[in-house]
């Protein structure tokens, strides 16, 4: 069962009221309807201001992790290790989400294994503008 947010249902209803034939035809097949709902959710409900906010949110999160790591290291090495272990998965998830916003695979994070050059490239990728899936 696919759970659809209320905003998407409202957007679909508005499109139906406008008489868009493509939406009416695709509503018969559940898989096409789910794909259409997902597309509407991505393109229409996420305006450019929200996309910019998502990029800024990632940068604030990275700053928090950096400063938190410095603070934890100043306390003790054990606290630093625990902080690093506690933030590694959220960091990977946030970077993957950001890379997907720029139409890149999350696997691009592996480029950061290349010292210095890889880190610069991944920071540039993460700082790019969000792209739509049109």
pLDDT (tens digit per residue) in 51-85:
666 677 888 888 999 999 999 999 999 999 999 99
Q: Are residues 30 and 75 in the same domain?
A: no
Tell me which residue of 45, 86, 41, 49 sits closest to 65, measured CA to CA: 86
Residue 133 inside a domain? The answer is no
In this predicted structure, what is the pLDDT of residue 15?
Answer: 55
Report the predicted TM-score, pTM, of the whole model to 2 decimal places.
0.56
Per the CB < 8 A criterion, the answer to whether 119 and 127 are in contact is no
Residue 83 inside a domain? The answer is yes
Domain count, the chain: 2
Q: Are residues 57 and 117 in the same domain?
A: yes
Residue 21 inside a domain? The answer is yes
Residue 1 inside a domain? The answer is no
Q: Are residues 38 and 55 in the same domain?
A: no
In this predicted structure, what is the pLDDT of residue 58?
Answer: 80
Residue 20 inside a domain? The answer is yes
Residue 111 inside a domain? The answer is yes
Residue 132 inside a domain? The answer is no
Average pLDDT over residues 110-117: 92
Q: Are residues 107 and 62 in the same domain?
A: yes
In this predicted structure, what is the pLDDT of residue 17?
Answer: 47
pLDDT (tens digit per residue) in 83-106:
999 999 998 998 888 888 888 898
Query: Two tokens at 51?
Result: 């996309």
Residue 106 inside a domain? The answer is yes
Q: Are residues 65 and 24 in the same domain?
A: no
DSSP 107: G
Dihedral angle sign, alpha carbons of residues 33, 39, 42, 48: negative
Find the domain containing 22 and state its range: 6-43
């Amino acid at each position: 069962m696919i759970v659809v947010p209320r905003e998407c249902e409202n957007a679909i209803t508005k499109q139906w009221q406008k008489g868009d034939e493509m939406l009416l035809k695709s509503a018969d097949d559940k898989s096409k309807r789910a794909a259409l709902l997902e597309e509407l959710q991505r393109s229409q409900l996420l305006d450019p201001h929200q996309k910019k906010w998502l990029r800024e949110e990632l940068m604030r999160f990275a700053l928090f992790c950096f400063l938190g790591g410095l603070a934890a290291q100043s306390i003790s090495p054990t606290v630093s290790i625990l902080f690093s272990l506690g933030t590694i998965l959220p960091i990977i998830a946030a970077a993957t989400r950001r890379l997907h916003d720029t139409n890149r695979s999350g696997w691009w994070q592996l480029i950061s294994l290349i010292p210095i050059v890889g880190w610069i490239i991944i920071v540039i990728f993460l700082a790019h503008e969000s792209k739509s899936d049109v």
